[in-house]
């Protein structure tokens, strides 16, 4: 069983940047796609970004494309999300995720999240 713990969230103003980190443990995370999902109050959890096992082929939700960058460091079992030019609509709990169904662009497992709040 994998454990995923996200950190790095906070309260920022529109236009600011944040870098989220995720520590993975419990299994060899480098064998799996990983990514980020988010859930805003009153809304369903949604896909944000994904990256393949070797750190290539990143994919993004249209709403964050060009502003967010996903990366991973397999030697450290870490996943990152650099978020630039944040907007109020980015406010959500962000969780790192694994077990990716690429046909549906859906992660099947996610861990403890971190709150990101963007004020206007």
In terms of Cβ atoms closer than 10 Å to its own Cβ (0-12, 13-18, 19+), residue 71 is: middle
The pLDDT of residue 115: 98
Across the chain, mean pLDDT equals 94
The pLDDT of residue 30: 74
- Count the neighbouring beta carbons within 10 Å of the beta carbon of residue 43: 9
Res 88 pLDDT > 90: yes
The pLDDT of residue 31: 81
In terms of Cβ atoms closer than 10 Å to its own Cβ (0-12, 13-18, 19+), residue 51 is: buried
Q: What are phi and psi of 10, to 5 degrees?
A: 170, -170
49 neighbors 60 (Cβ within 8 angstroms): yes
- Count the neighbouring beta carbons within 10 Å of the beta carbon of residue 100: 21
Spell out the residues 6+ positions from residue 62 whose beta carbon is closer than 8 angstroms to its own.
none
The pLDDT of residue 55: 87
- Shortest CA distance to 92 belongs to which of 35, 12, 15, 24? 12
Beta bridge partners of 60: 49
- Shortest CA distance to 69 belongs to which of 58, 56, 78, 85? 58
Express each pLDDT in 12-35 by its tens digit: 999 999 999 999 988 777 788 999
């Amino acid at each position: 069983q994998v454990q995923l713990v996200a950190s790095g969230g906070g309260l920022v103003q529109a236009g600011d940047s944040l870098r989220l980190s995720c520590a993975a443990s419990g299994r060899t995370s480098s064998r799996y796609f990983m990514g980020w999902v988010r859930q805003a109050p009153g809304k369903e959890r949604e896909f944000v970004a994904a990256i393949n096992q070797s750190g290539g082929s990143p994919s993004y939700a249209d709403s964050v494309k060009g502003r967010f960058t996903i990366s991973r460091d397999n030697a450290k079992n870490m996943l990152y999300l650099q978020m630039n030019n944040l907007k109020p609509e980015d406010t959500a709990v962000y969780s790192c995720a694994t077990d990716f169904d690429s046909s549906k662009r859906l992660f099947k497992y996610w861990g403890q999240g971190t709150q990101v709040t963007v004020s206007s």
